[in-house]
């Protein structure tokens, strides 16, 4: 019976085959890999053959995707360079180091007698791939894995600098930026780097090369970012497609670089409905020991059950969880919580016991939370997270941004407010309404569903 079904599905897919290949080259970071794998799956289900070229750093487990063809290329990173602590330095290096290996790989691929390659789909961060694609006369589609609002804020960095908002001054942080409401100076998407010029140059190369691309895909949806999508269309003047949230089509768990601890789900199974605050700051954010202690006491003092992801590397150079947690914390929480290294996040957010998500406002986390109708507490660390959290708080009104940084008093108040059904009623209603909009937009006739089809028509026409 099962074999019959598999056979039927394969036959259906065969009948859809378009005889064209899409080539992807993901940026090797968790928040970028997940949407690329999801995007590749979407297009595979529509009849394209898929090739993924990936780096040695954070390389993918090819055995998980038997339908895709993979090519591994050297990234030239030295041992001490393999670190996400200064992410712009890492990305700038990769943009240089990968140029030749990718050229050689594409050259071989294009000489192959197999299906013709329709286009190269690469992250906007891979700015070097535009010239490379041009040199092969191959259309390049830029893929932006974060929100459209943050993309526009990055695009505006040179203006922010010209207007004197950058570098940020402590006395100016709360000042509003009238040129980009509702941002305040502190929300401008800065990325800390030992070489701040590096950040500007990376962003400006990224924007310039995106303008030269044959199209731009966003992992977002019109109902959330309509205005921003229109603005991008006006500024970039290339075909633009909002086709997210991509994890609605395919889950992120298969592309997790770390093993997801499923005992988190068993623990949640024993909790009351909507009673648990889920706490996770994604795959790159780092904090110091003082901040970790504030987080811990904020959670403890809220008196709520909690599921907390303390990823190895969350506190740099730390020697294990036992030494990280402040003295007296475990006694204070008295079995009220559960801590894991890495969680099956999508499943956690979909679990009936979860009532709220305290997040760093990474874009995948934000979308995953909205999709499950879970309201957020937002603690941005850097980059797009700063913009996402401001929009979650002020525009979409589905989250509470912690304005004081990581301070136990504000954390405790925010958790209590969000977990109180009456106090958080409006936020919950709004996030539920976005959840419904998402369910509609990925269905036949919905905005994202239609954008997928428009993209396919477009790519087959050029």
CB of 425 to ligand UDP, least distance (A): 26
Residues 6 or more apart in contact with residue 261 via CB below 8 angstroms: 340, 341, 342, 343, 344
- CB closer to ligand UDP out of 119 and 348: 348
- CB closer to ligand UDP out of 160 and 278: 278
CB of 14 to ligand UDP, least distance (A): 31
- CB closer to ligand UDP out of 344 and 355: 344
Show the tokens assigned to 298.
């904020």
- CB closer to ligand UDP out of 118 and 292: 292
What sign does the CA torsion over 164, 168, 171, 172 have? positive
CB of 351 to ligand UDP, least distance (A): 13
CB of 366 to ligand UDP, least distance (A): 7
CB of 359 to ligand UDP, least distance (A): 7
- CB closer to ligand UDP out of 36 and 98: 36
- CB closer to ligand UDP out of 236 and 363: 363
CB of 370 to ligand UDP, least distance (A): 12
What sign does the CA torsion over 409, 413, 418, 420 have? positive
For residue 32, list its beta bridge partners: none
State the residue number with the nearest CB to ligand UDP. 31
User: CA-CA distances (angstroms) from residue 432 to 16, 148, 158, 369, 435?
Assistant: 35, 21, 37, 10, 5
| Angstrom distance (rounded) from CA 38 to CA 44 | 10
The owner of tokens 């050259």 is 107
CB of 283 to ligand UDP, least distance (A): 3
CB of 120 to ligand UDP, least distance (A): 23
**Residue numbers of the site for ligand UDP (CB under 6 A)?**
30-31, 34, 252, 256, 260, 280, 282-284, 309, 342-343, 345-346, 362-365, 368
Show the tokens assigned to 418.
């969000």
Contact 392, 361 (CB under 8 A): yes
| Other Cβ atoms within 10 Å of 334 Cβ, number | 8
- CB closer to ligand UDP out of 215 and 383: 383
CB of 346 to ligand UDP, least distance (A): 6
Cα dihedral 319, 323, 326, 330, rounded to 10, equals: 130
- CB closer to ligand UDP out of 252 and 292: 252
* Residue environment code for 121-151, b if the CB has 16+ CB neighbours within 10 A, otherwise e: bbbbbbbbbbebbeeeebbbbbbbbbbbbbb
Contact 437, 247 (CB under 8 A): no
For residue 50, list its beta bridge partners: 22
Q: H/E element holding 367?
A: helix 363-371
- CB closer to ligand UDP out of 124 and 283: 283
Q: H/E element holding 144?
A: strand 140-144
Contact 341, 310 (CB under 8 A): yes
- CB closer to ligand UDP out of 31 and 139: 31
What sign does the CA torsion over 113, 118, 123, 125 have? positive
CB of 395 to ligand UDP, least distance (A): 19
Contact 214, 458 (CB under 8 A): no
CB of 272 to ligand UDP, least distance (A): 22
- CB closer to ligand UDP out of 260 and 293: 260
Percent helix, strand, coil in the chain (nearest 5)? 50, 15, 35
């Amino acid at each position: 019976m099962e074999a019959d079904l598999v056979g039927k599905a394969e036959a259906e897919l065969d009948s859809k085959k378009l005889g064209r290949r899409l080539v992807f080259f993901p940026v090797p970071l968790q928040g970028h890999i997940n949407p690329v794998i999801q995007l590749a799956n979407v297009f595979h289900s529509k009849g394209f053959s898929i090739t993924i070229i990936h780096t040695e750093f954070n390389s993918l487990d090819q055995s998980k995707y038997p339908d895709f063809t993979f090519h591994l290329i050297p990234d030239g990173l030295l041992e001490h360079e393999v670190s996400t602590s200064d992410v712009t330095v890492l990305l700038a290096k990769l943009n240089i180091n990968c140029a030749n290996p990718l050229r050689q790989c594409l050259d071989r691929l294009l000489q192959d007698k197999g299906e013709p390659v329709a286009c190269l789909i690469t992250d906007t961060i891979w700015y070097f791939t535009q010239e490379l694609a041009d040199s092969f006369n191959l259309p390049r589609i830029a893929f932006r894995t974060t929100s459209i609002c943050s993309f526009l804020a990055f695009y505006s960095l040179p203006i922010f600098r010209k207007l004197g908002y950058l570098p940020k001054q402590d006395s100016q942080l709360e000042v509003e930026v009238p040129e980009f409401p509702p941002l305040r100076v502190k929300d401008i998407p800065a990325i800390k780097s030992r070489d701040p010029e590096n950040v500007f140059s990376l962003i400006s190369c990224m924007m310039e090369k995106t303008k030269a691309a044959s199209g731009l895909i966003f992992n977002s949806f019109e109902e959330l970012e309509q205005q921003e999508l229109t603005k991008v269309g006006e500024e970039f003047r290339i075909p633009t497609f909002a086709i997210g949230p991509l994890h609605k089509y395919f889950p992120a768990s298969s592309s997790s670089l770390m093993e997801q601890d499923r005992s988190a789900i068993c623990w949640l199974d024993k909790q009351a409905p909507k009673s648990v605050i889920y706490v996770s700051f994604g795959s790159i954010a780092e904090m110091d020991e003082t901040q970790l202690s504030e987080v811990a006491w904020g959670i403890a003092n809220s008196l709520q059950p909690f599921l907390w992801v303390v990823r190895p590397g969350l506190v740099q150079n730390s020697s294990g969880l036992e030494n990280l947690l402040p003295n007296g914390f475990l006694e204070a929480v008295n079995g009220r919580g559960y801590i894991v290294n890495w969680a099956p996040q999508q499943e956690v957010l979909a679990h009936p016991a979860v009532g709220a998500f305290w997040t760093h406002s990474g874009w995948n986390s934000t979308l995953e939370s909205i999709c499950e109708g879970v309201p957020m507490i937002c603690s941005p660390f850097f980059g797009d997270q700063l913009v996402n959290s401001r929009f979650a708080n002020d525009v979409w009104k589905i989250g509470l941004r912690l304005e004081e940084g990581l301070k136990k008093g504000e954390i405790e108040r925010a958790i209590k407010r969000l977990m109180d059904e009456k106090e958080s009623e409006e936020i919950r209603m709004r996030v539920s309404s976005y959840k419904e909009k998402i369910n509609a937009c990925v269905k036949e006739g919905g905005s994202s569903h239609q954008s997928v089809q428009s993209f396919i028509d477009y790519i087959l026409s050029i």
